[in-house]
Structure 1
């Protein structure tokens, strides 16, 4: 992973800083998965099917981004696929745009990224997908026991503040437009507004019907963090082995092993990719 990280950073030296950071997460409710399940089955029973459908969706997304250039011509890119221990697979994609398509100022951020709930009357399909996939939380005062909380604060800094226009933040991260439009939606027993929306691209979200976060990489400060985040490596697990015969010999080398966790989904992904 360290070598791949250094190779990715070398792309920055040649082509410039990345412009877009996209995270795509598998959706077990995809029609392609649900139609193939037998009576009584759930997606967790067909992880082979889930892996294949996610792979097909990811390949289509890469075709849209890199070959058809739906967000502009791409000069270079990197992507990694992660398999969480108890979660669904997701992909991280970092795009470096061609010099003629660079995203250089906050005036054009809204053409690529939105962080608001669309009006149901204007676009009911997009409204449904934003509510289903792109609402973060509720956390904070609405749910203090959520795993996202750190010292009483959401680690992802939600809810954000209302703002009329997108602007470049002082910490090199953009502050997306979140107007107080009065639109609220009920998510997990609470009513949420634009302050809870995860940034997305309307076309990509509508096409792939899953949690797919799109962010602008607007400052140099974020580059090192984003590449290290993408290449942080696979999950690790500490395994403890004990005996039930009453004997207890403390041998830390034998008792604990730093092992790699390979989930069923990741195993199926590698099997299908090797065929």
Structure 2
């Protein structure tokens, strides 16, 4: 929290996930190979994309001049890597009103006027159908929210960006009267994951951008990015001894 004390609370939380269909990965695969067969290719390409993302944020000031930032790379339980950024902007670039939010964060399906970006949004930035549409969705299997989506999808239609009573931003989600078929269900703007138009067009992957608007979020996010790796307990046993060897039990029993 020393960074927050010195530079202020973070303004943006940015997540970028590796895309197994990036041409830089697919072009290097042998016949019959898939991305999961070559984690070396995936890691190298992802690192190159990560450096490009850092350049956009820190050097090209896509969000404005940066005062400080931290990030952590995770591998989704040995799966595709993804990165979480916390970005603190300089005072002259702070997001202080809904108009500032709308400059950097969008939560709507693009129109047909931009077919390439629209295809990227529909492919990467739509929350899976859940709730009544799909009670078996993974976001429904949560101890604290067993009967509703833990991410609170579908969101409500909102004509303009605002801050709710808890201090969290509610991004503009206008009712455009349009639904698209996503995984056998018709979804609209209420299911869009917040993103940045410019970065998403550059990187063609799941790239989520959220505004940090409360200190509660700040504490959670710093704890989140420094939480460390997942850990498991395991034991090794001989095939000829189905009971295995419990060294802890042996020690406790003397």
Per the TM superposition, whether the score is higher than 0.5 is yes
List per-residue Cα deviations over 1:176-200 (Å, max 9, x = no partner).
Answer: 0111101211111111101110000
Task: Select which of 203, 208, 225 maps to 1:208.
Answer: 203
* Cα shift at 1:219: 1.8
The answer to whether the aligner puts 1:141 opposite 2:132 as a matched pair is: yes
Q: Which residue of 1 aligns with 2:77?
A: 85
Among 85, 96, 119, the alignment partner of 2:111 is 119
Is 2:30 aligned against 1:38?
A: yes
Q: Deviations over 1:60-104 (max 9, x none)?
A: 000110011111000000011011215311000000001111112
CA distance in 2, matches of 1:86, 1:249: 27
Q: 1:249 to 1:29 in 2, by over 3 A?
A: closer
Is it true that 1:132 corresponds to 2:123 in the alignment? yes
Looking at secondary structure, tell me which structure has more strand per residue. Answer: 1
Deviation per CA, 1:101-153: give whole Å up to 9, x if none: 11122232101100000112x11111000000000011111111122113121
* Correspondence for 1:57: 49
Aligned match for 1:231, one of 214, 217, 226: 226
- Tell me the equivalent position of 1:268: none
Whether 1:23 aligns to 2:18 is no
Determine if contact 2:17/2:205 at 8 Å carries over to the other structure.
yes
Gaps of 5+ in 2: none
Q: Name which of structure 1's ranges 235-244 and 191-200 shifts more when overlaid on structure 2.
A: 235-244
Cα RMSD (Å): 1.7
TM-score scaled to structure 1, two decimals? 0.85
Decide which of 6, 11, 14 is 2:3's aligned counterpart: 11
- Contact 1:115–1:200 at 8 Å: present in 2 too? yes
Residue 167 of structure 2: aligned partner? 172
SS in 2 for 1:92: strand
Counterparts of 2:67 and 2:217, CA distance in 1: 19
Give the aligned partner of residue 156 of structure 2: 161
Check 1:76–1:254 CA distance in 2 against 1; reply closer, same or farther (3 A cut).
farther
* TM, length-normalised to structure 2: 0.92
Structure 1 CA distance for aligned equivalents of residues 27 and 249 of structure 2: 47
Secondary structure of 1:203's aligned partner: helix
| Cα distance change, pair 246–208 in 1 and its aligned pair in 2 (3 A) | closer
